C-alpha cells in the first residue's frame, strides 16, 4: 500500500506518496493536479522492484509553502525538484517521470542542467507550444486571479478533473481530487502556477532535447483533449532515443484509465525493459 510521508526542503515540509522500501527511486512529478494522479500505479511500480516517489510541489497538494509568480515557473520548480532529490538522498542520476506541467518540469531537470537524469518519462505532458490551455492561461490576468474565490476555483477544477478522468467518477473520488484546493493557500499557489505557465519554457529546451541521448518514454492517453497525442508523436519523431506508448481511449490522466498498462510501461522502462501496453 502507498504511504504518505514528508521531508524538509527549504525549511518546509514536502509531502510525497511512496510505495516499497527498496529499489531504484523514481521521482513522479505532477502538474496542475497533485500527487494523487500517480496513486493508481504506485503499488504496481513497487511490485516491479522500483521505489516510486510522487512528490507534491511546494504549496500544492499536501506540501507546505505557497507559490508566487517567481517560484511557480518551470525553471524554479525544476530547481526545487533537484533540492528535493538531494534532501531525499537520491544517489546518482535521477529517474524522473512527469505528468502535465510536471512533464515540463521534468524536461527542464534534464535539458536545463538541474541534475543528471538516467531516464525520462513523460505522461500526457506539456511540450513545445502545447500549453497553457485556455482554462489555465486565463489566470495570467491579475484581474481574474483577484476576482477568483476558492469556490470559483473548486468549480473550475471540478470541471477539469471530470474531463481529465475520461470515465465515470463518483462524488467521493472527485471530492478526493479537489480536497487540496479547499485550502485558500493551495488555491493561491495553484493560480500562481497557472499564471506562470508559459510555453517558452519548453520551446527553449527543444535544441538541447534534440541533442540529448538520454532514454525517453512517452506514455499517452490518446483521447486526451488537453494535451493531444499529436504533440507526443512529434516529440517521438524528433527526439533521439524516444519511444511512444499509446494508451487507447484514455484521457489526460491515463493512470486512472489503465493503471496496469501504464505501470507496466513505466516499470519496464525504468527497469531497462522495452515498454508495452
pLDDT in tens, 207-255: 999 999 999 999 999 999 999 999 999 999 999 999 999 999 999 999 9
Residue 50 lies in a domain: yes
Mean pLDDT within 109-119: 96
Inside any domain, residue 14:
yes
For residue 71, is it within any domain?
yes
End-to-end CA distance of the chain: 23
Total number of domains in the chain: 1
Range of the domain at 25: 3-271
- Once rounded to an integer, what is the mean pLDDT over residues 140-162? 97
- Tell whether 277 is covered by a domain: no
In this prediction, residue 274 has a pLDDT band, given cuts at 50, 70 and 90, of very low
What proportion of the chain, given as a percentage, has pLDDT over 70? 98
CB 41 within 8 A of CB 255: yes
pLDDT for residue 141:
97
pLDDT at 72 over 60: yes
Contact 38, 51 (CB under 8 A): no
User: What string of DSSP letters covers 190-232?
Assistant: HHHHHHH--THHHHTTHHHHHT--S-EEEEEETT-SSS-HHHH
Stretch 22-43: mean pLDDT: 97
pTM metric for this prediction: 0.96
Q: Distance between CA atoms of 178 and 147, rounded to whole angstroms?
A: 20
Q: Which CA distances in Å does 184 have to 60, 187, 190?
A: 11, 5, 10
Within-domain flag for 214: yes
Q: What CATH number did the domain enclosing 33 receive?
A: 3.40.50.1820
Does 132 sit behind a cis peptide bond, omega within 30 degrees of 0 on the bond before it? yes
Task: Indicate the average pLDDT of the chain.
Answer: 96
Residue 1: predicted pLDDT: 82
Report the pLDDT averaged over residues 7-15.
98
What pLDDT is attached to residue 21? Answer: 85
Sequence-ordered list of residues with C-beta below 8 angstroms from that of 90, at least 6 positions apart, any chain? 25, 27
SS (H, E, C) 91-150: CCCEEEEEEEHHHHHHHHHHHCCCCCEEEEEEEEECCCCCCCCHHHHHHHCHHHHHHCCH
Region 54-71: what's the mean pLDDT? 98
Q: Is residue 276 part of a domain?
A: no
In a domain, 43, yes or no: yes
Q: What angle do CA 8, 10, 12 make, to 5 degrees?
A: 50
Give, as one character, the DSSP assignment of residue 183.
S
Query: Tens digits of per-residue pLDDT, 129-140?
Result: 999 999 999 999
* Residue 58, in any domain of the structure: yes
What confidence tens digit (pLDDT) does each residue in 175-210 have? 999 999 999 999 999 999 999 999 999 999 999 999
Task: Return the pLDDT at 276.
Answer: 33
Amino acid at each position: 500500500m502507498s504511504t504518505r510521508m514528508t521531508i524538509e526542503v527549504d525549511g518546509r515540509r514536502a509531502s510525497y506518496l511512496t510505495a516499497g522500501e527498496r529499489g531504484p527511486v523514481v521521482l513522479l512529478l505532477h502538474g496542475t493536479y497533485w500527487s494523487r494522479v500517480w496513486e493508481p500505479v504506485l503499488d504496481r511500480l513497487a511490485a516491479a522492484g522500483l521505489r516510486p516517489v510522487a512528490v507534491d510541489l511546494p504549496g500544492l497538494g499536501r506540501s507546505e509553502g505557497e507559490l508566487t509568480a517567481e517560484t511557480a515557473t518551470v525553471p524554479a520548480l525544476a530547481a526545487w525538484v533537484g533540492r528535493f532529490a538531494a534532501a531525499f538522498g537520491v544517489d546518482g542520476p535521477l529517474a524522473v517521470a512527469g505528468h502535465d506541467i510536471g512533464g515540463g518540469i521534468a524536461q527542464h531537470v534534464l535539458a536545463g542542467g538541474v541534475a543528471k537524469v538516467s531516464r525520462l518519462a513523460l505522461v500526457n505532458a506539456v511540450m513545445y507550444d502545447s500549453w497553457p490551455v485556455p482554462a489555465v492561461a486565463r489566470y495570467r490576468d491579475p484581474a481574474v486571479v483577484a476576482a477568483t474565490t476558492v469556490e470559483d476555483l473548486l468549480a473550475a477544477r471540478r470541471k477539469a478533473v471530470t474531463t481529465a478522468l475520461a470515465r465515470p467518477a463518483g462524488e467521493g473520488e472527485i471530492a478526493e481530487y479537489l480536497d487540496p484546493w479547499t485550502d485558500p493557500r493551495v488555491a493561491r499557489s495553484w493560480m500562481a502556477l497557472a499564471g506562470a505557465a508559459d510555453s517558452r519554457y519548453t520551446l527553449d529546451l527543444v535544441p538541447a532535447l534534440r541533442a540529448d541521448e538520454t532514454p525517453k518514454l512517452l506514455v499517452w492517453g490518446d483521447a486526451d483533449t488537453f494535451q493531444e497525442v499529436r504533440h507526443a508523436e512529434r516529440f517521438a519523431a524528433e527526439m533521439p532515443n524516444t519511444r511512444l506508448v499509446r494508451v487507447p481511449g484514455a484521457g489526460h490522466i491515463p493512470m486512472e484509465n489503465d493503471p496496469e498498462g501504464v505501470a507496466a510501461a513505466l516499470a519496464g522502462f525504468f527497469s531497462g525493459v522495452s515498454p508495452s501496453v
